[in-house]
Amino acid sequence: MKLTQTVQKGGCAAKVPALILREILAGVKFPPLIPGVSVDGALFDDAAIFDVTPEISLVQTLDFFTPILDDPHDFGAVAAANALSDVYAMGGSPKTCLAILAAPLATLAPEIIRDVMQGASDVIARSKSSLVGGHSIDDDTLKFGLSVTGLVHPKRIWKNEGAQAGDVLILTKPLGTGTMCAGLKRGVYAQADIQEAVESMKRLNNICDYLTETSGIHAATDITGFGLAGHSVQMARASKVSLHFIFSKLPLFQKTMSSLEAGFLTKAHRSNDEYTRDTLSCERAPLERQVLFDPQTSGGLLLSVDKNSSEQIVQELKAHFPGVAIVGEVSELKHHHVYVE
């Protein structure tokens, strides 16, 4: 069974479009924050933070989606890495995971669901956290993900509001998972044809495990369904700065441009364009602009880093993140929040 043929949308491309999500949330009256909540969803951060002691804060997040790959083990692995990424994006270490599973039991064999769970379990083991339970329902389509709790020191939390003028921007993974997975869903690519992207999506964003010093990292966010443009705009808005990217420095997969040229797009390409239309300035060709709107699944971290720390961070990450690159810089807020040259 090809899992991608059982759903209309897959991976982070299935996210509710950012403009619609903001409209929905604007009409909800949320309960007041209790003491201890230091980061909530107000600035679209990657996870919530609850301060427990002066030295311990909880990081809480959840993420789930429909199949983006045909291989069930790989789908589970990507879904787990994607959910764990939100904890890493806050500077934290994951500790416990709860599984979120919806599956069509009448049409999906138990061994397929078991393979999804095993793929996730293998990645959770690599993250040095534990799968401690979860919840499952019988549903029309397969959906899988995790709720993750992690720990972080309150003084080492990365938020998306900390980017400072003069910072250097670093991206840890190449762009292009959205278009290549769209080609897979259309049956033009086999999963083996996009293995470079598959391995990247399964890769944990556990950059703290490889860095000798993290104090130079002022802000971070992971690049997922809203694309580089959407998540960059959210960081720039929260930090009240402008982000400047140099397109030629953006890391891309080998098939990214040819896949876009073949017209392998998702609805998220259009909705991400609409979301950033008033806040993004880009003079690149239409095909190159699509790179910015490409919905990433388990994409890389975008880091806003002190200039004096940037080269060392890139050098220490290269062995573990082959696509890591310096992609731009941060300036005082100008007319637009994000510029691409």
CATH number for the domain harbouring residue 80: 3.30.1330.10
Sheet of strand 93-103: strand arrangement: 37-39, 48-53, 56-65, 143-152, 93-103, 130-138
Report yes or no on 179 lying in a domain.
yes
Q: Calculate the alpha carbon distances from 255 to 70, 262, 291 in Å.
A: 19, 10, 12
Domain boundary among 135, 156, 177: 156
Mean pLDDT confidence for 10-17: 88
Question: Is residue 297 one of the residues assigned to a domain?
Answer: yes
- The answer on pLDDT for 1 being more than 80 is no
Phi and psi at residue 242, to the nearest 5°: -115, 140
Whether residue 144 is contained in a domain is answered as yes
Total domains in the chain come to: 2
Q: For the chain, give the percent of residues with pLDDT over 70.
A: 100
CATH no. for residue 310?
Answer: 3.90.650.10
**Residue-level pLDDT at 12:** 83
More confident residue, 8 or 222: 222
Higher pLDDT, 22 or 56: 56
User: Do both 129 and 256 map to the same domain?
Assistant: no
Domain end (from 156, 187, 211):
156
Co-location of 239 and 332 in the same domain: yes
Structure tokens at 136: 């499952």
Alpha-carbon span 18 to 21, nearest angstrom: 5
- Is 161 inside any structural domain? no
Does residue 20 lie in a domain region?
yes
H/E element, 199: helix 195-202
Residues 30 and 124 grouped into a single domain: yes
Q: What is the pLDDT of residues 321-340, one digit of tens each?
A: 999 999 999 999 999 999 99
Picking from 57, 58, 75, the residue whose alpha carbon sits closest to that of residue 66 is: 75
Same domain, 327 and 209: yes
Residues 173 and 79 in one domain: no
Instruction: Point out the domain boundary residue: 125, 156, 187.
Output: 156
Residue-level pLDDT at 13 = 85
pTM recorded for the entire structure: 0.96
Same domain, 75 and 178: no
**What tens digit of pLDDT does each residue of 242-280 get?**
999 999 999 999 999 999 999 999 999 999 999 999 999
Cα distance between residue 269 and residue 145, in whole Å: 23
pLDDT in tens, 211-243: 999 999 999 999 999 999 999 999 999 999 999
Verify that 58 and 111 share a domain, yes or no: yes
| Residues in Cβ contact with 199 at an 8 Å cutoff, skipping those fewer than 6 apart | none
Q: Do the domain assignments include residue 163? A: no
Q: Are residues 88 and 195 located together in one domain of the fold?
A: no
- Same domain assignment for residues 127 and 180: no
Q: Is residue 225 part of a domain?
A: yes
DSSP run (H or E) holding 269: helix 267-276
Q: Which domain holds residue 105?
A: 3-156
Query: Does the residue 162 lie in any domain?
Result: no
24-76 confidence digits (pLDDT tens) = 999 999 999 999 999 999 888 999 999 999 999 999 999 999 999 999 999 99
The pLDDT of residue 11: 87
Q: With the CA atoms of 208, 211, 217 and 219 taken in that order, what torsion angle do they form, in degrees rounded to the nearest 10? A: -30
Catalytic machinery residues: 12
pLDDT in tens, 153-198: 999 999 999 999 999 999 999 999 999 999 999 999 999 999 999 9
Q: Are residues 126 and 221 in the same domain?
A: no
Residues 92, 219: one domain?
A: no
pLDDT for 122 beyond 80 = yes
179 and 296, same domain (yes or no) = yes
